[in-house]
Amino acid sequence: MADRAPADRQRAVGEIGLLEALATTRAIRRYTNDPVSDADLEQILWHAGRAPSGSNRQPFRFLTLRNGRNARAAKSLLGHSFRDGWNEKRDGTEGERPYRPSRFVDSMQHFVDNFEAIPVVILVCLERYRDPSPFEGASVYPACQNLLLAARALGYGGALTMWHLRVEAELRSMLKIPDRAALSACITLGVPAGRHGPLKRKPASEIIFDDQWGATPAWTAPA
């Protein structure tokens, strides 16, 4: 039997159009204590799995960490890693300028301080069929975006992170992840304590060039 989409379980947040979702989906780092239901998680990951991939090999794999024994241990490990990573980034020890107080800094601090309480953590993996390549992300990151947009449609929010790489060896041992699987991303998921969009982004006229580098097209709205 062909794989079919799970029954529509749109949360009582009102339907949103695709373009609205694309324009308003932000990184959500504050979550309520509400769980992500099995049915909603299945639907989110089903839509993540519809993403395109090189040669349609569909090499993405999703390892969910919720409330199991391994999940609790992995979340604890990740929590320490995320706090260490953020402390270094915030204080400028990674070669960047120290962060000044801001809403973003407060959000990040809350995120890492409460990491172990996040309802769902998803390790997005890529099951390799050849040697590691700088281009392999093209076959997994579209699935990450699908995941975040599906979560948005069902009333959830998430954030894509990379600080799991600091404890990759420990995660592989703890969760029995094979060497052939790349740990491409770590996505947190839950019911937003705040809300999505509107977003502050650079105007189109600053990020689009036409015909040659640096040439702003006349058909973009001015900044």
Per-residue pLDDT for 92 more than 90?
A: no
What whole-number distance in Å separates Cα of residue 115 and Cα of residue 197?
Answer: 23
- pLDDT band of residue 221 (cuts 50, 70, 90) is confident
Per-residue pLDDT for 199 more than 90?
A: no
- pLDDT band of residue 11 (cuts 50, 70, 90) is very low
Give all strands (DSSP E) within the chain, no chain letters.
60-65, 120-127, 157-161, 181-190
Short-list 75, 83, 20, 42, CA closest to 186: 75
Compare 137 and 35 and report the one with higher pLDDT: 35
pLDDT of residue 7: 57
The 10s digit of each residue's pLDDT in 129-182 is: 888 888 888 889 999 999 999 999 999 999 999 999 999 999 999 999 999 999
What whole-number distance in Å separates Cα of residue 147 and Cα of residue 168?
Answer: 22
What whole-number distance in Å separates Cα of residue 26 and Cα of residue 151?
Answer: 11
Q: Map out the domains of the chain with their CATH numbers.
A: 18-196 (3.40.109.10)
Per-residue pLDDT for 93 more than 80?
A: no
pLDDT of residue 4: 66
Compare 58 and 9 and report the one with higher pLDDT: 58
Give all strands (DSSP E) within 36-180, no chain letters.
60-65, 120-127, 157-161
The 10s digit of each residue's pLDDT in 115-131 is: 999 999 999 999 998 88
Compare 131 and 12 and report the one with higher pLDDT: 131
